[in-house]
Amino acid sequence: MSGLLPLLRQRMRRDWKQLLIWTIGTGLFAYASYSAVSQSYGELQERQALLVTVMANPVILLFRGLPSGAEQGQLMVFLMFPWLAMLAAFMSTFLAVRHTRMDEEQGRAELVSATPAGRTTPVVATVIHGLIANFVLAALTTLGFLASGLEMTEANVAGAKVVGFAVGAVGVAFLGIGLIAGQIMRTSRGANALAVWILVATFVICGIGNALGTPSDDLQRMESSWLTWLSPFGWGENTRAYADDNLWPGVLALVFGLVLAGIAIVLQSVRDLGEGFIPERRGRAEAGPLLSTPTGLVWRLTWGAILGWTIGGLLTGMLSTSLASVVDQVSGDNPAIVDILEKIGGSNGSLQQATVSVFFLMLGIFAACAAVQIVIRARQEEAHGTAEPVLSAAVGRVRWLVDYLVVAFVAMVLVVVAGVVGATLGLASVDGGSELMETIVVTAAGQLVAASVFLVLTALVFVLAPRATIALGWTLIAVGAIFGLFGPLFGFPDWMASLSPLEAAPKVTTDGVQLNGLWWLIAVVLVGGAGAITLMRRRELVTGG
């Protein structure tokens, strides 16, 4: 294991800023959950009422955690845990791929492996690096909960420790998943895509599993169904911090991650550096008709990602309407839930509308992700030097950028349309759901406009500060998503929440269509788009990261 320490130091040196932001961000997010709970649900009765409502409409559990009780700490964990775990998971998969497959792909691993460090030491160093990062993240999460203003009772301190441990354990599980993805896929892009797909799929599986679970008689606690146990997120949630403080599901996640990391080390030791496990197919000797225009090239480079987001949109749409009916059947057996639903009364329709709105907010985020990823692809083409031969041929700078923007817009339309199609398919399984169509179409169109804002803002960043494109593009979406998904919960003032295009988009309530900030959004898209295209005329090629 010679060279382990230098490799570890190199990893920390390369990542420390990024990891600092990521772990402190997670800690602050945990800290903020207290004010969310104390502002929105200060009274015990309010918290109990919230949980009862949730049990009545468990679809919400897709966006929240596993209810364990109405105590403040328990509710904080219920509201925030999945998202804290998701931050740890994203941090870990990206970290794993960055230091394994990406290094191999870009030839850096060859330099290192030619030294006495050999082929497996870099992976071992990455595992240790990932474990340290997750430990820091877990510690800061615990600190966040400790500092949040909960009473410093023994139980609360133990709860804070358990929640930190669980978040870190989910992170380690995804460190293993990221490492395996890096072994299987030949490119870092492919490895990241695979890891993110697994992440989102297991997140949703965990949520569906919780929604299909068995509520306790007092409607304050939910027992996960077996589905939840297929997901590392489910393991993390079943530690039930502040309630049961049950460590073994967390240990399961930890062991799972370490076993996968071990397998990754073995795989690395038996394969050739830079190769995958599926032999490379030979390419075409000649280009097909698609590769005759710069637009065709952009499509060729991005269609895989577009397909992925579109399938995501379709599934989101299907869940938004069909899951409601499944949940209806489950909860229909429980007299207490029927009672609640009746209390909410005629607003059953509006509950469904609200459900569609929440899911379509996710759809808007997916569409924005697809678009931003394509603009980021333009930046990657520029930085890696593959834009240069295209721009040295008879392709203008403006035309080149517009191609990416057009394909990005098409991608957003595909994602949103897939969402509408999915929602319509889901409705087919529900009786008399046709009145929801207006909500579906209007909300989808609104989210398309909202996602376009992310597209033009990222395009502007690309033109004005190319080196910041990747970081700022994803940050914009993250901020928009947090405002959209948590703004109401955290009690942000309205003006602040409506800064997020996703929140400012038109919605449908029982009072009819609310346009909200539609005209503002359209204005931003038009001005931003025109600005980006105009400024591109004066923009030079900026190579290098």
Partner 1 sequence: MATVIHTKGLVKRYGKVRALDGLDLEVEAGQIHGFLGPNGAGKSTTIRVLLGLARPTSGEATVFGGDPWRDAVSLHRRIASVPGDVSLWPNLSGGEAIDLLARLRGAPRRDAAYKAEKERLMHEFQFDPRKKGRAYSKGNRQKVALISALSVPADLYIFDEPTSGLDPLMEVVFRAEIDRLRAAGATVLLSSHILSEVELLCDRVSIIRAGKIVETGTLAELRHLTRTEVSFDATTVPDAIAGAHDVIVSEGRARFTVDSDAVNGILPVLAQRDVQGLRIEPPSLEELFLRHYGDDLAALDASTGSATGAGRPATRAGRSATGAGR
Q: How far is CA 244 from the centre of its chain?
A: 28
Contacts of 187 (CB under 8 A, 6+ apart): 101, 105
Q: Does 390 bind partner 1 (CB under 8 A)?
A: yes
Give the whole-angstrom CA distance, residue 545 versus residue 526: 29
Q: Does 285 bind partner 1 (CB under 8 A)?
A: yes
User: Do you know the residue count of the chain?
Assistant: 545
CB of 333 to partner 1, least distance (A): 52
3-state secondary structure 233-271: HHHHHCCCCCCCCCCHHHHHHHHHHHHHHHHHHHHHHHC
* Binding span for partner 1 by CB under 8 A among 218-226, 383-391, 455-463, 475-483: 383-391
Q: Does 541 bind partner 1 (CB under 8 A)?
A: yes
Contacts of 452 (CB under 8 A, 6+ apart): 371, 409, 412, 521, 525
Give the whole-angstrom CA distance, residue 293 versus residue 261: 43
Give the whole-angstrom CA distance, residue 389 versus residue 382: 10
Q: Which of 73, 182, 249, 294 binds partner 1 (CB under 8 A)?
A: 294
CB of 83 to partner 1, least distance (A): 34
Q: Which is nearer to partner 1, 297 or 376 (CB)?
A: 297
* Binding span for partner 1 by CB under 8 A among 110-118, 217-225, 387-395, 483-491: 387-395
Kindly report the CA angle at 140 between 203 and 5, in degrees rounded to 5? 95
Q: Does 386 bind partner 1 (CB under 8 A)?
A: yes
Q: Does 397 bind partner 1 (CB under 8 A)?
A: yes
Which two three-digit tokens encode residue 207? 């949520």
* Binding span for partner 1 by CB under 8 A among 126-134, 153-161, 230-238, 286-294: 286-294
Q: Which of 297, 442, 461, 525 binds partner 1 (CB under 8 A)?
A: 297
CB of 297 to partner 1, least distance (A): 6
CB of 243 to partner 1, least distance (A): 49
Q: Is 500 exposed, middle or buried (0-12, 13-18, 19+ CB in 10 A)?
A: buried
- DSSP bridge partners of 481: none
Q: Does 4 bind partner 1 (CB under 8 A)?
A: no
Strand 222-223 with 507-509, pairing = unpaired
Q: Which is nearer to partner 1, 270 or 394 (CB)?
A: 394
Site for partner 1 in 92-131 (CB under 8 A): 105
Q: Does 395 bind partner 1 (CB under 8 A)?
A: yes
CB of 220 to partner 1, least distance (A): 52
Q: Where are the alpha helices (DSSP H) in 147-227?
A: 154-184, 188-211
Give the whole-angstrom CA distance, residue 260 versus residue 265: 9
Convert residues 173-212 into a mask of x (bound to partner 1 by CB under 8 A) and - (unbound).
Answer: -------------xx-------------------------
Q: Does 270 bind partner 1 (CB under 8 A)?
A: no
Q: Which of 389, 493, 544, 545 binds partner 1 (CB under 8 A)?
A: 389
Is the CB of residue 230 less than 8 Å from the CB of residue 202? Answer: yes
Is the CB of residue 182 less than 8 Å from the CB of residue 155? Answer: no
| Consecutive H or E run containing 223 | strand 222-223
Q: Does 272 bind partner 1 (CB under 8 A)?
A: no
Q: Which is nearer to partner 1, 308 or 487 (CB)?
A: 308
Q: Interface residues with partner 1 (CB under 8 A)?
A: 105, 186-187, 280, 282-289, 291-294, 297, 300-301, 384-386, 388-397, 399, 538, 540-541
